[in-house]
Structures are given as C-alpha cells and as structure tokens.
Structure 1
Amino acid sequence: MSSAPLRTYGGVSGTDRQAERRAQLVAAGLDLLGSDDGVRALTVRGVCRHAGLAARYFYENFADRDALAAAVYDHVVEGIAATTLEAVQQAPADADAKVRAGLARLVRAVAEDPRRGRLLFSPSMADSTLAARRVASTRMFVRLLGLQAREFYGVDGSTRLDILAEMLVGGLAQTFTSWLDGSLEATEDEIVGHCAELFLAVADAP
C-alpha cells in the first residue's frame, strides 16, 4: 500500500479521493464475491476492471485480494449489525416488538440484496479465506444477542444465557442458509414470525 502524501485536487482532498476509490473497490468486490462464482471471481484485475480503476489504486488501499475480501465482508457484517441493532433500540420496550423488529431488519437486509446472503451464508464460502471472518462474525452476533438480553431483562451473564445465544444465532444462520439455497420454502414474514416465536419461547422458559 502506498504511503506517499495525498494532495488536494479539484477542491477534493487526497484523503477523500482515496476513501472514494476504496469505497468503489469494496462495492466492486461485493459484486464479484456475491456472484455465482464467488471467491473465484475476485481477482485484482477483475475488481479493478469492475470498479473502473487502475491497479495502482487497488494497491493504494489493499495489500492483496484477500485483504479486499476481508474488507468487503466486514463492511457487510458491520452494516447489518448496525441497522439490526438500531431497529431493536427504536422498537417499543416490549420483548415481542424488539425481537420482531430485529429479526425483520435482519431478514430484509439479507433478502433485499442476494450478494449479502451469498457472502454470509453460501456453503461455497466455507473453505475460502473468509472462513475465519465467518467464525468471528458469528461470535460477534452471539455477544450482541447476549448483551441485548442482559440489558432488556436486567440479568447477569450465565452459562445458560451463553448456550441459548449460541443455539439461537447458530440456528438462525442455518435457517438463512437453507432459505437462500431454496431447500427451505418460506416467506420473509414466515421466517420472522416463526423465528420470533422461538426466540421468545426460549426467553420465557424457566
């Protein structure tokens, strides 16, 4: 990656121009990674052609294609986590409302952009350079669910809560995987409704 000073040009700072180019490369990377060819489609030449940028701009931002793949994955996960958490926080102070709001936002985020679904849940990514990223993002969502449960119910952490968070996040991920590959036939509303019932049943269990 280049460390040369970035000059202002046309009233736009060098730092802003670099950020714009980085965003273009991340967007192009998402298009390629989210395609049917997945990781195989992601090459430095391919992403530069897709973004309409010279290769030197790629290396200005990323060491190699694996670094770009990681940045694309983190961008998608962070965006989904932020909008899901926002939906939960804005919902009425009621367990049913908060669970359904969070699940609805999560399901919509995956359904409205098939690229996200392939990136996060396609089995073809399981053995790629993104495998470690998937493990880390699962751990993040488990922690996030546990934190929200502790805050809402006013309880301390426990082994039981940890296990429940693991099961719910893991089960939801498998549900998405089956839904997106077509082996589970269900509407968005059905996914949200049935998963919400399970989340709430677990929360109410003694």
Structure 2
Amino acid sequence: MKVSASGASRVYGGVTGEQRIAERRRKLIEAGMNLFGSGDSSNVRVKDVVVEAGLTERYFYESFSDLGSLFEAVLEVTMDVIERDVEAAILKAPDDGLSRVSAGLRTSVEVLAADPRMIRIVFVEALGKGGRASSRRHEILVRAAQNFFRWSEAGLGDFGSGPVESRMKAFAMSGAASELLISWAEGLLDVSPEELADFLVGLYWRTNLP
C-alpha cells in the first residue's frame, strides 16, 4: 500500500506523517518479534500481528507486503541488535584474536539468553530446517563466518581474498556454533548460557583461528 506524499507529510499534534508511519512499522516489528519468537509461530496470521500491535490490518500493508516481508524485517532487526552489542563488547576487549572472539561469543549468548524471542527467530525460524527464512541459511552462515574471520585477526584483510585456511576455519566455526545454538534453542542441550559460551570459546581455541 502506497501513502501519498501529501498524506505522509501532514503534521498532527506535532508529529509528521513519516513519523507516524515509522512508529506503526516499529509496533508491527515488535509484534512480529513476539509472535515469531513464541513457541508456536507456524499459524501466525496478519490478523494476529495487527491485534498484537494494536493496529488495523490496513496499516500492516502500509509497511509490509506479506508475513514473509515482516519476518525479514524482524530478522534484520534481531541480528542488528546482536551485532551492535557484540561490536561494543569487542571494542572493549584486549587486542588479540582469542579475546575478541571470546567477547563476541559470550556477548552473543548473553544477548540471546536475555531475550528468548531472538533465539527462536534466528536459530529456529531462520536457520532451522523448514523455518520461515531457511532459504537464507547460507547467507546468515556466511555473515557469521565473516565475523569470526574479522574478530580472529584484524590484519587479514578482506574475507573474500583472505587466506583460504583462515576462511575454512571461519566457516567451520560458523557452522558449528550455529548448530550448537540451534540445538540449545530447541531444548536439546540442557546447559546454562555460561556453559554454552565456555564451550564455544574452547571450540574456537581448539580450532586455532587464524
């Protein structure tokens, strides 16, 4: 649904049309996080989203074409939150590969444990078999591998042209960490966030990146 330029620019109560649209979009994304991040998201409908957001259905189509596009937005917001907190932690870490990766892994697990919705959105709905965004699995794993590569050794340069052994190890860590987190998200691993983070850091150390 398109909003006319004149409609979007009108000001009511000191709030512009663009600001109102942005706020409705924010509410829809938050509603999507609640529903997609719940234990049973397979039957989520547009009607459920707008009820959760406190809006009417026409406002859903103001920002999203369908539930798939909403989930894509929810996934990006979720990953951006995780990566923002991880980058902040890495900036404070000692300047060596193990310390940076340790900070990245521990912060990732802490953020996920603090908001279980994120665990399900990323590791069940996006990366899990048959999830809403399972087609993006490879893209997400590459994104994680690039992070491992960058955290491991800042001087290795661009991921695509970096040493092949370092890239293979980064992909190995990306895949292993993702599978462990998926199993944790699905309740197959009865371990605390601290135990999971310790194992992941140890796995990195044994992999000996770069």
Q: TM-score, normalised by structure 1?
A: 0.89
Partner of 1:202: 207
The alpha-carbon distance between structure 1 residues 123 and 13, as it changes in their structure 2 partners (threshold 3 A), is closer
SS at match of 1:40: coil
Partner of 1:77: 79
Matches of 1:77 and 1:134, distance apart in 2: 13
Matches of 1:99 and 1:128, distance apart in 2: 28
The alpha-carbon distance between structure 1 residues 97 and 132, as it changes in their structure 2 partners (threshold 3 A), is same
Matches of 1:134 and 1:22, distance apart in 2: 25
Alignment of 1:108-119 (within 5 A): 108-119=110-121
Task: Give the CA deviation at 1:136.
Answer: 1.9
Matching residue within 112, 131, 142 for 2:134? 131
Matching residue within 171, 175, 197 for 1:170? 175
* Identity across the alignment (%): 31
Matches of 1:123 and 1:78, distance apart in 2: 16
Matches of 1:123 and 1:51, distance apart in 2: 20
Question: Does the CA contact (< 8 Å) of 2:37 and 2:120 recur in 1?
Answer: yes
Name segments (4+ residues, structure 1) moved above 4 Å.
none
Matches of 1:73 and 1:95, distance apart in 2: 28
Question: Does the CA contact (< 8 Å) of 2:28 and 2:49 recur in 1?
Answer: yes
Task: Give the CA deviation at 1:86.
Answer: 1.9
2:3 pairs with 1:23: no
SS at match of 1:183: coil
How many equivalent residue pairs? 202
Task: Give the CA deviation at 1:29.
Answer: 0.6
Task: Give the CA deviation at 1:123.
Answer: 6.9
Code of the residue aligned with 1:49 in structure 2: it is V
Partner of 1:155: 156
Matches of 2:133 and 2:97, distance apart in 1: 34
Q: TM-score, normalised by structure 2?
A: 0.88
Deviations 1:125-173 (A, max 9, x none): 532441123332221111122123241xx33511111110111011011
Deviations 1:69-101 (A, max 9, x none): 111111111211221122112212233432221
The alpha-carbon distance between structure 1 residues 79 and 204, as it changes in their structure 2 partners (threshold 3 A), is closer
Matches of 2:28 and 2:121, distance apart in 1: 16
Alignment of 1:23-62 (within 5 A): 23-41=26-44, 43-62=45-64
Partner of 2:65: 63
Question: Does the CA contact (< 8 Å) of 1:34 and 1:119 recur in 2?
Answer: yes
Partner of 1:187: 192
Code of the residue aligned with 1:155 in structure 2: it is L
Root mean square deviation of aligned Cα:
1.9
Code of the residue aligned with 1:98 in structure 2: it is R
Partner of 1:104: 106
Matches of 1:66 and 1:123, distance apart in 2: 11
Question: Does the CA contact (< 8 Å) of 1:120 and 1:134 recur in 2?
Answer: no
Question: Does the CA contact (< 8 Å) of 1:28 and 1:51 recur in 2?
Answer: yes
SS at match of 2:52: helix
